[in-house]
Structure 1
């Protein structure tokens, strides 16, 4: 049975799951009824961050147009442009043992593609979640349902995998941003 987290909670991942080396981070969402005449496309991406909380280079920004980190440790498995159907809408595979030693944290985000230009925001999104699965058994270990706390935001940092004392932990973040992906990219130290 998966452990369900609330916003702000942190949990040991590798310590409580001995032998865990590869995980899948599943992200999902539904869009509410929307009649704005434009497609509603949400995207997941992740940022591999150093001790200062910044991306050392553009190579540490993983998304549908740059799906794999040079180390092979993190791979975005594909873009879902509709969010249709049950289960994960997008996934990121992470080999915890292969993550470069300078990476202290991996932040997972969901953004609305062209959200501001299309007048779309997370107030129009429901059932958002992030979950961590053991890649080997496909067993769900951790789940964080984001709830309906957002209204005007166009990007959300949903959670973070991070190193602590030689182990990997997960934090349920649930922090919304205005300015979409561009704001996050800038906050994580990259040029837009």
Structure 2
């Protein structure tokens, strides 16, 4: 099956493209335009599973790296000793943090897994986001990270893969230009009746991850 390239605002029926689709892998990649001697550039992938009120029904449905420290996690199936955040029902398994966006093996920088068969009926959409980790949440507590933004990031993309077959279903390359934004709602999976669709969002914000938390909690 050929992969489809989406543009901002386009919607795509996952259920029609891959009948019987159950587990999707959401892969994201980027190339940070690091400055010589500058601060570490750490981008993080997170997800918000929302109900009809556009809110997460419980903290478990905010899937981000911090859940690992809180014990809401499982060990990665391939990389032993590394842990992924997970929702209480096991429907969404979040990303292993890649602190610098420099994976050299051709894989996505970060990925997450969504088992559509386990998503509770009251969850209407899952928004996948990418944010820049900044002081005081960065590993080195470097205040220079406060000046980082998506204008310094290149080749950002999100792709949806059928986990059972390994086939890429669709891809969305982020082509917008930014000035000060440090958080992007990259795309969303949402219900249409008994089917699932994907929308390429590309909606940017300032305030990093906290802005999205304030929106959806």
Q: Shared topology, TM-score over 0.5?
A: yes
Q: Which runs of 4+ in 1 moved over 4 A?
A: none
- Distance across 2 between alignment mates of 1:162 and 1:149: 26
Counterpart contact for 2:45–2:95, Cα < 8 Å: no
Counterpart contact for 1:28–1:128, Cα < 8 Å: yes
TM-score by length of 2: 0.83
- Distance across 1 between alignment mates of 2:128 and 2:11: 15
- Distance across 2 between alignment mates of 1:142 and 1:60: 24
Task: Please state how far the C-alpha of 1:15 moved relative to its aligned partner.
Answer: 2.2
TM-score by length of 1: 0.94
Higher fraction of helix: 2
SS in 2 for 1:170: strand
- Distance across 2 between alignment mates of 1:122 and 1:36: 19
Q: In structure 2, which of residues 192, 206, 209 is the aligned counterpart of residue 181 of structure 1? A: 209
Change (3 A) 1:115 1:174: farther
Q: In structure 2, which of residues 100, 113, 121 is the aligned counterpart of residue 82 of structure 1? A: 100
Aligned length: 189
SS in 2 for 1:15: helix
Deviations along 1:55-113, one digit per CA (max 9) or x if unpaired, are: 12211100122210011010014111110034311111010010111110000000000
Report what 1:54 is aligned to. Answer: 55
Root-mean-square deviation (CA, aligned residues, Å) is: 1.5
Task: Please state how far the C-alpha of 1:17 moved relative to its aligned partner.
Answer: 1.2
Flag structure 1 segments of 5+ consecutive residues without an equivalent: none
Is residue 2:129 matched to residue 1:109? Answer: yes
- Distance across 2 between alignment mates of 1:102 and 1:115: 35
Counterpart contact for 1:115–1:154, Cα < 8 Å: no
- Distance across 1 between alignment mates of 2:39 and 2:25: 31
